[in-house]
Amino acid sequence: MGDIEALIIRLAKDNAALQPAPHPVLLSLKWMGVALAYLMLMLLFSGIRPDFSQRLHESWLFAEMLALVVIFITTSFCAALLSFPDLHQMRSMVFAPVVAFTLFMLVLLVAWQADQPPALTPLHSIECTLSITLSALLPAAWTLYQMRKFATTHYGWAGTVALLYAFSVGAIWLRLYEVNDSIMHVLLWHYLPMSIFALVGWWLGKKIFKW
Amino acid sequence: MELLLEQSLQGNQRAYALLLIETSRFLRQFLIKRLNLTHELEDILQEILISLHKARHTYDGCRPYKPWVYAIAKFRLQDYLRVHYSDQLRQAIDFDELEESYCDYSSETALSYESIRVQVQMLPEKQATILRLMHQDGFTAKEVAEKLGMNQSAVKVSAHRAYKILKEKLGR
């Protein structure tokens, strides 16, 4: 008996009825549900910025928040797709976060142009990066843990998308909580670190998704 | 194949074995087209089959089976080729290092082969033969490789390892 035949017999003996992984849409909805519950909990403790409803109508904040939510949704769905070795045969969808992120950057660029006279830059700086990072740690760990249960064949991209997803939760929370209208500040201390962490995800993915 | 798939997902071991046999048949063709190293084909095929087994929970039977299999096969093949070529690169780096040490050893005229014959004989047989041929009989690494049916870099690597052992034994 050849090695392949022996292996097949061994694998067949190990086969039992398995619960197949849910559809990526369901998986993504589940992950988003958990993230939203976490976000609500965070807001419960921190509170929402007092001028939020007013600012939402007056400024570019609405467009920015909307673009952030699009990043949150697309990265969640893309992370679910990337958990499958064949990307659930929806290959073109895995680049959706790139489109969402470009759209987000465009919104910020236009908002920056429209910020005349420029809003006051807050006194704090790195504190925002630290807050986003700390608040994103739990969603990041949870998402990476969930994705590890499957079998991704795109380690780097899966890591990037997972961290972008987790950091979008942190970024949404801080934008809802912090009283700040300076686009320059959010670009430098919120979204630039978020992008850098997404790149770190490429390296992290290669370390933890091996199977 | 669809029937086999359905039964396999329900835990039928016989159907699963038949499915894997069918799968290995078309995967073999897939690998033959992409690999020059035919002696490695069986190893890669085994790795792919194990990966398919490990990832079987990511297949639900609601989408075509072959693209799922090929995605895993391509992934494992790329993984294998990456390791294979990085090994070759590492060997090439070792090769540079040992070229240097080879020059050092061959220029050490004070230490003749005769004076360390006993220590050489205590080396593993292949290493001892290589050193004897190179330093007693005066063959080049290329000639030794031809004589022993090895490739030249393997002879140099083997000689390099032998030098290291001797260096430790002789305390220099």
CATH number at residue B46: 1.10.1740.10
CB nearest to B49's CB, from A8, A19, A21: A8
Contact predicate A162/A154, CB 8 Å: no
Interface test with B, best of A7, A14, A86 (most B CBs within 10 A): A86
| A158-196 burial code (b ≥16 CB/10 A, e <16) | bbbbbbbbbbbbbbbbbbbbbebbbbebbebbbbebbee
Residue B109 is predicted with a pLDDT of: 45
CB nearest to A153's CB, from B12, B56, B75: B75
Min distance B19 CA to chain A CA atoms (Å): 9
Residues B9 and B85 in one domain: yes
Kindly provide the ipTM of the predicted complex, given to two decimals.
Answer: 0.85
Query: What average pLDDT does chain B have?
Result: 81
Residue A194 is predicted with a pLDDT of: 93
Mean pLDDT of B81-97: 68
Residues B71 and B107 in one domain: no
Task: Pick B129 or B113 by higher pLDDT.
Answer: B129
Min distance B93 CA to chain A CA atoms (Å): 25
Mean pLDDT of A102-118: 88
Residues B106 and B72 in one domain: no
Q: Final residue of a domain: which of B58, B75, B90?
A: B90
Residues B21 and B77 in one domain: yes
Task: Pick A172 or A179 by higher pLDDT.
Answer: A172
Interface test with B, best of A1, A3, A9, A15 (most B CBs within 10 A): A15
Q: A-chain residues within 8 Å CB-CB of B9?
A: 17-18, 20
Residue A109 is predicted with a pLDDT of: 92
Residues in chain B whose Cβ is within 8 Å of chain A: 8-14, 16-17, 20-21, 24, 42, 45-46, 49-51, 53-61, 63-64, 67-68, 70-72, 74-75
Residues B27 and B105 in one domain: no
Please give the structure tokens belonging to residue A98: 């790139």
Min distance B59 CA to chain A CA atoms (Å): 6
HSE of A155, CA atoms in CB hemisphere, 13 A = 14
Please give the residue range of the domain that contains residue B12: 2-90
What are the strands, taking DSSP E only, across B26-172?
none
Mean pLDDT of A87-108: 93
Task: Pick A90 or A2 by higher pLDDT.
Answer: A90
Residue B101 is predicted with a pLDDT of: 59
Residue B100 is predicted with a pLDDT of: 61
Residue A90 is predicted with a pLDDT of: 94
Q: What is the pLDDT of residues A112-130, one digit of tens each?
A: 888 877 777 777 788 999 9
Query: What average pLDDT does chain A have?
Result: 92
CATH number at residue B125: 1.10.10.10
How many beta-carbon pairs under 8 angstroms link A with B?
91
Residue in B with minimal Cα distance to A147: B58
Whether residue A20 and residue B72 make contact (CB cut-off 8 A), yes or no, is no
Backbone angles phi, psi at B167, to 5 degrees: -60, -40
**pLDDT > 70? residue B102:** no
Residues B81 and B113 in one domain: no
First and final C-alpha spacing in chain A = 28
Min distance B43 CA to chain A CA atoms (Å): 9
The confidence band for B93, taking pLDDT boundaries of 50, 70 and 90, is low
**pLDDT > 70? residue B16:** yes
Percent of chain A with pLDDT over 70: 100
**pLDDT > 70? residue A1:** no
Residue A17 is predicted with a pLDDT of: 81
Instruction: Say how far residue B2 (Cα) sits from the centre of its chain.
Output: 37
Residue in B with minimal Cα distance to A2: B42
Whether residue B71 and residue A86 make contact (CB cut-off 8 A), yes or no, is yes
> How many domains does chain B fold into?
2
Q: What is the pLDDT of residues A35-55, one digit of tens each?
A: 999 999 999 999 999 888 888
Residues B97 and B86 in one domain: no
Mean pLDDT of B111-116: 70
Q: What is the pLDDT of residues B137-158, one digit of tens each?
A: 888 888 888 888 887 777 887 8
Percent of chain B with pLDDT over 70: 82
Contact predicate A71/A101, CB 8 Å: yes
**What stretch of H or E contains A1?**
none
CB nearest to B17's CB, from A9, A83, A84: A9
CB nearest to A21's CB, from B20, B54, B60: B60
HSE of B123, CA atoms in CB hemisphere, 13 A = 26
Residue B37 is predicted with a pLDDT of: 66
Residues B13 and B83 in one domain: yes
Q: Final residue of a domain: which of B56, B72, B90?
A: B90
CB nearest to A88's CB, from B16, B46, B63: B63
Q: Final residue of a domain: which of B71, B90, B109?
A: B90
Residues B26 and B14 in one domain: yes
Residues B85 and B105 in one domain: no
Contact predicate B171/B146, CB 8 Å: no
Residues B9 and B35 in one domain: yes
Residues B13 and B70 in one domain: yes
CB nearest to A12's CB, from B17, B45, B46: B17
Q: B-chain residues within 8 Å CB-CB of A92?
A: none
Q: What is the pLDDT of residues B35-81, one digit of tens each?
A: 876 678 888 999 999 999 999 999 988 899 999 999 999 999 998 88
